Amino acid sequence: MKLVEEPRFDKYKSKLKRQRIYRGFTQESLADLSGVNIKSIAAYEQNPDKLVAASTGTVYKLANSLGCNIEDLLDVENIRRD
């Protein structure tokens, strides 16, 4: 399920934060559900490039917990293609 494009979510630079807020999760509840450390979630929301560098397993846990695709959390234009 993709995030509905709504102007009220445009203020969040992080796709992870947009998805989390849209689905009504706090950082703590997402951490509990996903098993990802709350400090990591906060860091990923503050700096989306950190989520791009996170392990595939971490990104999968977050996407699965939010009921969305991995692509819905990542800024694919920021992914390095070596």
The domain limits of the chain are 11-75
Q: What is the CA radius of gyration of the chain?
A: 12
Residue 31 vs residue 8, higher pLDDT? 31
Whole-number pLDDT of residue 13: 80
Whole-number pLDDT of residue 81: 52
Whole-number pLDDT of residue 1: 47
pTM for this model (two decimals): 0.82
Q: Is the pLDDT of residue 5 over 90?
A: no
CATH 1.10.260.40 fits 11-75, yes or no: yes
How big, in percent rounded to 5, are the helix, strand and coil portions of the chain?
60, 0, 40
* pLDDT tens digits along 17-75: 999 998 999 999 999 999 999 999 999 999 998 999 999 999 999 999 999 999 899 97
Sequence-distant (6+) residues with CB within 8 A of 81 are none
